[in-house]
Amino acid sequence: MQVKWTRGSLKEEQKLKLDKKSMLLYAITDRTWLNGKKLEDEVEKVLKAGATFLQLREKNTPFDEFLETAKNIKIIAKKYNVPFVINDNIEIAKEIDADGVHIGQSDMEAKRARDLLGNEKIIGISAGNLEEALKAEENGADYIGIGAVFHTDTKKDATDMTMDEMRKIAAAVHIPVVAIGGINAGNIMELKGTGVDGVAVISAIFADDDVFEATRNLLKLSSEMVKA
């Protein structure tokens, strides 16, 4: 599956607009699950299996190693024509000319990120409620990650979001919305009817012994969930 993205009109402040289909299966890396496997190899399997978006998340990796990994993964993402963003680190994103960044509520406002990266780049923002989602869109985010929708060990301090809150957010904003937090093959269909455009997953892919099959299965389930 190839994902395309285009810039918006001048009236829309020329911000980059993502096809909502790019949110269908948003893969976020986590090398803690690799058990000695090479991250680049696993990422290639994930993209080959059909993941529609990729975020490199390296919370505790030294800068030089982070930079080298980002350069390598950018090449893989380009090969599969998948949007590739860096989690939190704008310096890395600028250095390798990534497609953009994903930032949390406590990291940096979207306006500041836009000033640093320019209108051509993707800015994704995390939101835990309707107010944060509306603010992210107003500040120029290209998409919003909402959650945590289920309990997750990745962010232990995250509060679970209700299905009603998800529906309110999806109905209120005009940019793509991806659900995140504890989503896996066993619970993804519980998101039916919320209006989200897809799911973002970490361990549901990278903790699996076969990331290719895990990705392919989740892509199928996400497609069914979004259409339901």
Q: Which of these is catalytic: 21, 31, 114, 126?
A: 126
**Residue 38 annotated among the catalytic residues of the structure:** no
Let me know if 126 is a catalytic residue: yes
The answer for residues whose C-beta is within 8 angstroms of residue 43's C-beta and 6 or more apart is 27, 29, 54, 73, 76, 77
Helix runs in 80-174, H state only: 90-96, 110-117, 130-138, 163-172
Our CA angle for 115, 176, 100, nearest 5°, is: 35
The catalytic residue among 57, 71, 94, 112 is 57
Looking at residue 22, the DSSP 8-state letter turns out to be G
Residue among 133, 134, 74, 87 at smallest CA distance from 113: 87
From the candidates 37, 94, 112, 155, which is the catalytic residue? 155
Task: Name, in order, each residue with C-beta under 8 angstroms of 138's C-beta and a sequence gap of 6 or more.
Answer: none
Is 48 an annotated catalytic residue? no
- Taken as a whole, the chain contains a residue count of 228
- Report the distance separating Cα 199 and Cα 211, nearest Å: 16
Annotated catalytic residues are 57, 126, 155
